[in-house]
Amino acid sequence: MKSDRVKKGVETTPQRSLFKAMGYIDEELEQPLIGVVNSFNEIIPGHIHLNTITKAVKEGVRMAGGTPIEFPAIGVCDGIAMGHVGMKYSLASRELIADSIEIMATAHSLDALVLIPN
């Protein structure tokens, strides 16, 4: 697994200690690490329910034998941003979102991702 780079062997003791400090147990660290990207926020109407979906996704990952690791993604509401300078950020935000997800997945050696957009 890709995540073995941060979980297996004596050389990854510092990384494992950080996982342990967050409450992960050995059994969870033996499973694939699955990133769950939650774009919930309280300003985009289409995102307001995403925490509920994320809880179900994380439970599904556990049921399938993985360890879910949730992290956020930003979002821009075109409807709220419309008609002022904010609209200039709509398309640019998509690149930022993609880049930040790639950075998180690669830097933390995640085995897979589940993306939860609106």
Q: Which amino acid is at 56?
A: A
Q: What is the pLDDT confidence band of residue 118, given thresholds at 50, 70 and 90? A: confident
Residue 76: exposure state from Cβ atoms within 10 A (0-12, 13-18, ≥19)? buried
Nearest to 116 by CA among 28, 31, 35, 2: 35
> What are the boundaries of each domain within the chain?
30-116
Q: What is the pLDDT confidence band of residue 17, given thresholds at 50, 70 and 90? A: very high
Tokens coding 33: 């690490």
Q: What is the mean pLDDT of residues 49-60?
A: 98
> Which residue, chain included where needed, has tokens 């993609």?
98
Distance CA 118, CA 114 (A): 13
